[in-house]
Amino acid sequence: MNFTHPFRDEDGDKLREECGVFGAIGTKDASAVTALGLHALQHRGQEAAGISSFDGTNFFTRRGLGHVVDNFSGEDALAELPGFMAAGHVRYSTTGGAGLRNVQPLHADLASGGFAVAHNGNISNAQTLREDLVKRGAIFQSTSDTEVIIHLVATSRYPTLIDRFVDALRLVEGAYSLIVMTPEGMIACRDPLGIRPLVMGRMGDAVLFASESVAFDVAGAEFIRQVEPGELVQVDHDGEIRSMHPFGKHPSRPCIFEHVYFSRPDSVFDGRSVYAARKAIGEQLAIEAPCDVDLVIPVPDSGVPAAIGYAQQSGLPFELGIIRSHYVGRTFIQPSDSARHSGVRRKHNANRGLVEGKKIVLIDDSIVRGTTSMKIVEMMRDAGASEVHFRVASPPTAHSCFYGVDTPERNKLLAAQMDLEPMRQFIKADSLAFVSIDGLYRAVGSEPRDPKCPQYCDACFTGDYPTSLTDLTRREDEAAQLPFDKVA
C-alpha cells in the first residue's frame, strides 16, 4: 500500500508528519529488513532516508535525499550495509532544516565506540543545550537537534554508556522515540510522556523496533507490544532483552493526531486500530454535526475512513466524488505560476457526473491554512454541486506543534485567526463543523478529556503543551526586548 497525503507540496496545507524510525537486530539481512520497514513508513517522511548497519566490527551508513526506493532499491545499495544489526530513518525536516548533513541516522565515534542514532520527534530545548555545548568546545557537524543527544552522551561523566545515555536524556525536553546502535547492541527508548510512538516486534530470532506496527506487516514480522512511555529497551547480540524505566512513571500523553492523520490506517496505535478509530471519529462527527445532503464525499486519501463512518452513522450514501491521480509526483515540472497554482486539480478531479445537481458534504481530517479546503469547495461547485458542506474529523488546529511535526507558524493557522463563521466564509462552504475535543477522545476509545490531566497530547487543538518549551520561551523573551521596529 502506498499511503500518501495529498496537497502538501503545493502550499503546505497539511501537517507534515515528523519522521519514521525502524531498527532490526539479530538477522543477517538487517539492512534489507530495515529498508522494507522504512518503505512502509514512507508516509512519515518523504524528504530523505538513511540506514546504518553494524557487522560486529564496523559501522556503515548510507543516506540520501528522496524516497526509500530512490536510495535502497538495488542489491548494490544494500551490499554497502552489511551486518546483523541496522537502523533506518525517513525524514521531514523539523528542527535543523533540509540538507544531506541532517539526514539520519547520525553516526559518531565515541570513546566507547561507534554510536548511531535515529530520532523521531523534536527536542524543544535543543538550541539552549547546543549553545552550552558549543561554549564547552563541542563541534557540530549538522544543524539537527538529534546531534545534541550525541554530544550530551559524549560529554557525560558517567562510567557506562547506558548511564551516559540516560544522563543525556535527563537534560532533554520535548518528544523522542530513539533507536540507537552501539557495538554492544541496540537501544530503543521513548520519551517519558510517550508523545511519539514506538513499537516492538519479532521476526524469528530477530528483534525489531518501528514507529508503526504496519512496518512489521510489510517486513513479515510479528507485532509484540508498544515500547512504554519512558521505557528504555536494550537488546544485545545474543538476543537478550532488558527493560528499564529510568525516568520514573508519568501520566502518558501520546499524540492524538496519530489517530487523526499521521499513522497509516492499517497500523495499530496505542492499542487501537487506526482505521477503526478514524471511522469512529466520522461516526462521532455525524452525531455532532449532521447534514441534510445527498452524498458523503471524502477528501482523498486521508478523509476516507472518517467519511465511511460519517456515512454509515447518518445513513447517507458514501461516494467517491473526488478522484485522485496516483501518478503526480513531487518532482512534477511546473512550467508557469498558473500551472503551479493548479496543483489541486492535477492531483484531484471532481466526479462531475456524480456530484452535479447534488447536495454534498465533504469530509477531511483537518484544516490547517484553509487554502486547499477552499480550492476543493470551489472545484465541487464548478462541477455543479448545488450545495457544498464541509465537516472536519478533528477539532480546529489553532496551535503550532513543537514535538516533531512541521506545522506552520501560528499566525498562518486558519483556526488561530478566525472563529467558525469567518472560517466557513473563507473556504466558501455552505456550512462548516469540526468534531469536538471530547468527541475525538470518545472516538479513539478514551473518556472525555480531563483538562487537569489530559490523556493525550492535543496541544495543536488546545494549546495545552505537556512539556516546557525552553527555546520558544527564550525566543519570545528576546523578541519582547527588541524595539518595535526590529520585531519581524
- The residues that are catalytic are 19
Beta-carbon contacts of 120 under 8 Å, excluding residues fewer than 6 positions away, are 18, 19, 20, 21, 44, 89, 176, 177, 178, 196, 197, 198, 211, 404
**All cell numbers assigned to 174:** 520535548
127 alpha carbon, distance to own chain's centre: 22
Distance separating alpha carbons of residues 390 and 21, to the nearest angstrom: 35
By the 8 A CB rule, do 189 and 178 touch? yes
243: β partners: 233
Distance separating alpha carbons of residues 485 and 488, to the nearest angstrom: 8
Q: What b/e string do you get for 347-369 counting C-beta neighbours within 10 Å, with b at 16 or more?
A: bbebbeebbeebbbbbbbbbbbb
What is the amino acid identity at position 81? L
3 state DSSP class of 234 = strand
Distance separating alpha carbons of residues 112 and 162, to the nearest angstrom: 11
Distance separating alpha carbons of residues 136 and 273, to the nearest angstrom: 47
77 alpha carbon, distance to own chain's centre: 26
3 state DSSP class of 264 = coil
**All cell numbers assigned to 60:** 556503515
